[in-house]
Structure 1
């Protein structure tokens, strides 16, 4: 049987998202293998069937992004049991992982990129890998296991305004959506500060109002709004929104009070850490 490097196996088994992270953990003495034997050489080749463990690892998901969706499912009281879920912008698979752990029957892991999905998810029969797919051009017939009951999305370098319209075509009637709203990719360039960080709460409020209003004019009812429990990779405050597809005409309403409350809480909690 062909053996594999320890650092590569750690990534393939979904314990880390990059070999560099895996190497650091190995050299720090945090990785154990068969019979709890410590593995301290990243390049050591071992049987790929050995299940590795990282001592003290507390992240139950393949990426830290999983904590974002986990909070949304809890706060908005969403039940994914036996649902067919679409993960738009799956990347490593944090949202896919959380969906499965919360009972999803199957997940379409869709991303415009390639070879990013954690190995343990790639090998899971409940995951339909859809790589090199630009969701903006997706059609109902692209989903050969059936139209999704629910969608989740965490996308970068693109506005949700380009995601919501095509989603109305592929989501089942009354389907739900949890979307991560990233002000750094929604606000104009002039509103984003150094290192790509939005430092003005007025920009947060403006972006949220714009996205929620757009969603309702597109056919989604706004059912909930909160802030992400962790910041983005660069330190940006991000937000979680829960929508339900309701194609009938929706009377537009003001979100000002709700938005202000959520933004104020986000700044108090996340910037105090």
Structure 2
């Protein structure tokens, strides 16, 4: 006789791991349920009575780790996006978008070259304009609502220099930009391959940051702040935030060699 199988959400209730099927479904959506050690993502998944089902700790504040990164940057630079019209370039699962919404942004346009990555909670949020399978370099700024009060950027496999022109158009003269600088995608392939995709050399961080700052200023953008991201990338890569403004933005062009060195020194305090 075959062993009885039950829906995962119902089994969570049966084992008293959730008070109701609705609560069980939310826990699954929040990535808090594992079956035999692996994260479960479907309430309708069929499980056996002998399967090891675990309910993990409190749900994360944001749908992705990027939200915690951006929260740290907003605090570091004293930016309050309440009431702002924003765009998230490289939205992926939506960590940055989620952070902006929770911080009071009026709306966020979420742009990504991929598809079906944005968390359902954001996909069905009326304050989010989802633009999937979209290369930001191909967008018409006016068509997606530019100029924006704030442009946030988290892109992979492409250097920031290749998108700064369109980003400047999205921000306009008075908009602000928070760009996550990922040395592993800014440095040369040979340098990245030496560390198997992880850049650990402070000299490379320094060079990459100076190159990105110079590229920004070449476009008449103001570079007002720099700090290390409070959370490393998935493979352990150190990342940095640059606070940039349009030519008429309320951002003082203050970043110099000392500011870059200070940001790099702060890497030592990361967990």
Structure-1-length-normalised TM-score: 0.79
C-alpha distance after superposition, 1:208-259 (max 9, x if no partner): 01101111111210111000111111110000111111179xxx98722211
Match of 1:43 among 43, 46, 67: 46
Aligned pairs for 1:55-204 within 5 A: 55-143=56-144, 145=145, 147-192=147-192, 193-204=194-205
**Is the 2:224–2:255 contact (alpha carbons within 8 Å) kept by the matching residues of 1?**
no
For residues 12 and 88 of structure 1, the distance between their equivalents in structure 2, rounded to whole angstroms, comes to 27
**Is the 2:146–2:170 contact (alpha carbons within 8 Å) kept by the matching residues of 1?**
no
Partner residue in 2 for 1:244:
245
Partner residue in 2 for 1:259:
260
- Structure number with greater Rg is 2
Offset of 1:181 from its aligned partner? 0.3
Offset of 1:139 from its aligned partner? 1.6
For residues 80 and 170 of structure 2, the distance between their equivalents in structure 1, rounded to whole angstroms, comes to 20
Q: CA RMSD in A?
A: 3.1
Q: How many residues align?
A: 241
Partner residue in 2 for 1:49:
none
For residues 91 and 27 of structure 2, the distance between their equivalents in structure 1, rounded to whole angstroms, comes to 16
Offset of 1:172 from its aligned partner? 3.4
Offset of 1:66 from its aligned partner? 0.9
**Is the 2:225–2:255 contact (alpha carbons within 8 Å) kept by the matching residues of 1?**
no
In structure 2, stretches of 5+ residues that fail to align are 1-6, 13-23, 48-54
What secondary structure does 1:142 align onto?
coil
What secondary structure does 2:71 align onto?
helix
